Structure 1
Amino acid sequence: MGRVTAESTRAGERILAGLDLWAEWPTATQRAIVGAALESFAERGFHGTSLKHIAQGSGLSTAALYVHFASKEELLFALSRRGHTIALELVRAAAVEPDPAAAMRVLVYSFTRWHAEQRTTARVVQYEQGALTAAHAEVVAELRRDTERVVRGLIDRGVAAGAFTVPDVRGATAAVLSLGIDVARWFVPGGPWTPDALGLLYAGLAGRMLGMPA
């Protein structure tokens, strides 16, 4: 069934509750540095951000930053890797549901909500990738490929089970992921949509796009 159920939203909420963006940085100092870098990258862009901006935002000296991170590119990489790891953990958690239709509803609902609720992080990790070194960019690219493989595998499973009618699985995979990712670009808190409402809407849209019964 393509209808989004209360069970789907509860499952999505459980997945989201288990994701901790900041788990990789256990100390208050590390979190202050990464948080300041995130805010500056979002406000000024990577190239417009200096280590001085990050130091000021974190309340530390520029020299103190080097104890934890060698460069602002390393900070961007840490954020990008963590953000993409979270996305991969999310889709994997949703895809374990045996029923492919239910799994897809949970996946799209939670993926969309995460990109709305963590829009600042999502914007930075999606739109500043060009500033990463080639080696770091490849690490992030592999995480993206892993995420795509999980979603594509779920769609393949749904097609095989007769739950989805999809003429182009690769294209459908890109479309499902793009629905959630693009939310980070335009979502504004206090606007006409809440993260929950968007998650419900997009889960329903994805169901229709994949040919799930109403």
Structure 2
Amino acid sequence: MQCLKWLGLGLLLTAVGFAWAAPQVRVVGLFPGAAVLNVDGQRKLVKVGQTGPGGVVVVSADSRGAVLRVEGVERSYGLSREYSNGFAEPTRRQLSIAKGVGGHYWIAGSVNGHPVQFLVDTGATAVALNDGQARRLGIDYRVSGLPLQVNTASGTVRGWRVNLNSVKVGDLEVLGVEAVVLEGGSPTEALLGMSFLSRVGWKVEQDVLMLESKH
């Protein structure tokens, strides 16, 4: 009987130790059919049905959340939510963008509170808009802007350097962002350039662009 008691205690201690060793799992990016997982600090884009770091399986995923199988148990996870022994959510805001059409990174955002579809361009020194986009956004670039000449792939065009009150993508908002408005139809898409990106942390891993607030 005494041996059985000690055996039971040993099993209990083993179970408790197993619970302590449970992986720290967070979902830091959501896409149709895939999720970006952060398991014990290791980040990876994992598609539905595949196994990620720590043996975590993505059962389902869409823009609203993901169902993960962690150590045989399925749970629903929201974006950037912590499910490990009461760890707090990170104070820094994060955004993950999967590579899209044409191998580019596209992200919905806003300029001065007005919706904009951005093409991320790390080669652009500033946020760039064509004059039609600027007018739609209510930017009076001819009055408030500084005239300049801009060299593009199509040649030299006239432009204006302006200051945007705010640029926001996801939960990341930067105030007082320099931008360039170009005369004509180019760029066809609003470019999210380095005047925004340099003020947030960013990196590319496994075809996923990750942005993070610096504070």
TM-score, with length taken from structure 1 = 0.23
Which structure features the higher share of helix residues? 1
* Larger Rg belongs to: 2
